[in-house]
Amino acid sequence: MPERQRIEVLLPWVAAAAGGVLTFLGYAGFDRFYLEWICLVPLLWAIREVSPGRAFLLGWVAGVVTHVGGFYWIVGMLQQFAGLSLPLAVAGLLLLAGANGLVFAFWGWGTRLVSRDARWSLAWVSPVVWIAVEKLWPELFPNYLGASQYRLVLLTQIADVTGILGLSFLVVYANSTAFVVMDRRLSKRRFPWGSVAAFAAVVGVALVYGAVRVGTVDRTASVAEKLTVGVVQTNRGAREKHDDPERFLREHQEASRALAAERAPDLLVWPESVCNLVLVDREGRLSPELLGDTRTPTLFGAALRQGQGEERREYNSAVLADGTGRILGIYDKTVLMPLGEYIPFGDRFPWLYSWSPRSGHFWPGSSEEPLLLGRHPLSVSICYEDIFPGFIRALMRGGRDHRVPEALFNLTNDSWYGDSVEPMEHLALASFRAIEHRRALVRATNTGISALVDPVGRLDLRTAQWRRQALVGQISLMEGRTVYAVLGDWVGWVCVVLSLLGLGQAILVARRRTEKAKAPASKGKKRRRSQRR
């Protein structure tokens, strides 16, 4: 094969891989957010003239590169959390990257098929198909492309109407518009003024909406009732807790006493799984000494054990207690981490736990009830539950009595991921829940990043990573429901319907093309038969 031809064959694959690198560098944690506005351009160039099947493979390459680079911390997490060896942990990363990379693969396939056969404009087919896939594809760690823009406050405000999918739409729309402009310029065709004007109009509307909403929400928050919250971050990881649980608890107690004496918060918040609890029932009273004898209501994470013998169950729980130790409410984590908090099919095949000796054996919770601090309902989630928009939306309905929560709380242990970009990725994803529901979000982590996020999504106060710190600040207790809270991922479902219509039209066009190609051949056969007769 001539050198030039070899380069032409390889260049699309190199472009796909380059797009994957740009994507993870532009994501939260790496924080080169501007790269996200062009990260898909190389991939769109790579699939511009290939078959849909080849576009699928090119997209998959980009997706795998994105998730290997962006999720490199999975290796350390699987070693620490599940006790896997390095080869198995690396295999776990590749497996996860391969699965999540299918988002790019199906997007490449659908975009190419619809734009080629249905002749729909690539500028808007691309974002529509992306949102449809991002909505439907199940992921262990959802990582919406729009989360990369968490710093652009004016732009992110559309999330209270569209959810985070609206931000993903804008990011992919920017990429496809940029590609259309580049493609037209390279082929010396007419400049796509219509496509550029449409994109500018959409972004302009989003920015104006953002400016209006920031002002409105800030005014509402300024007059809302306030809650002074103190967050304790002792900078002790899960391994240190396992080695010396008494010291782990004692340091939270000491930090809480100092914080309560100095700042007198209305509520103290500890991170996930600070202590082990054994309870007969869920309405008892804890020893005030357990919580540092601060005489301050405390929300804390605990590994909770209930029952005896075969009836014994363990939960990853959040417990809210008043200043005397009386339990006000308990929330059990519902979305458990596979291999970390349970092993899939482990109840049916118990021997699986011998393969992963550090894996927990927790039961999932089932309650969506908020916890009540006085007359204030609070929504509580644990660990990575706050990156699932649909799950938090379910909690924000307020349970059986529809007591819509006035603030969001999340208790997390991100120490499993080491000193990596994961804590920032986690916080960026979680911050969109504050915008979607116009609630303050309080996140307490043991090694960082703990934060108070305001209802606009700004990270008002935050700790450093892997540093002993405490946060004290006021949050606004908000009321009401947003468009997103009521309608959910309506943008995603609209894009699903449009994508199906486009795919349906593309399939019909392809079928007609095949029938037309067969028609001359069949006529030729009939003509030859008649001539023989």
* Residue-wise pLDDT tens digits, 307-340: 766 667 889 999 999 999 999 999 999 988 876 6
- CB distance 230 to 472 below 8 Å: yes
Beta strand spans in 255-413 (E): 267-269, 275-279, 298-306, 313-321, 327-332, 371-373, 376-382, 407-412
Q: What pLDDT does residue 41 have?
A: 97
Q: What pLDDT does residue 339 have?
A: 67
Domain ranges of the chain: 3-219+490-517, 226-483
Q: Does the N-terminal peptide bond of residue 449 adopt cis geometry, omega within 30 degrees of 0?
A: yes
Categorize the per-residue pLDDT at 519 as very low, low, confident or very high, splitting at 50, 70 and 90: low
In CATH terms, the fold of domain 226-483 is Nitrilase/N-carbamoyl-D-aminoacid amidohydrolase (3.60.110)
Q: Which two three-digit tokens encode residue 105? A: 């693969």
Q: What pLDDT does residue 377 have?
A: 97
Cβ contacts of residue 387 below 8 Å, gap of 6+? 141, 142, 426, 429, 430
Higher-pLDDT residue of 440, 143: 440
Categorize the per-residue pLDDT at 417 as very low, low, confident or very high, splitting at 50, 70 and 90: confident
Beta strand spans in 280-373 (E): 298-306, 313-321, 327-332, 371-373
- Mean pLDDT (whole number) for 389-407: 95
Categorize the per-residue pLDDT at 530 as very low, low, confident or very high, splitting at 50, 70 and 90: low
Beta strand spans in 395-483 (E): 407-412, 441-445, 451-453, 459-462, 469-476
Q: For the ranges 63-72, 233-242, 453-462, 486-495, which has the lowest average pLDDT?
A: 233-242
pLDDT beyond 80 at 520? no
Categorize the per-residue pLDDT at 167 as very low, low, confident or very high, splitting at 50, 70 and 90: very high
Q: Report strand pairing: 451-453 vs 459-462.
A: antiparallel
pLDDT beyond 90 at 79? no
Categorize the per-residue pLDDT at 127 as very low, low, confident or very high, splitting at 50, 70 and 90: very high
pLDDT beyond 90 at 78? no
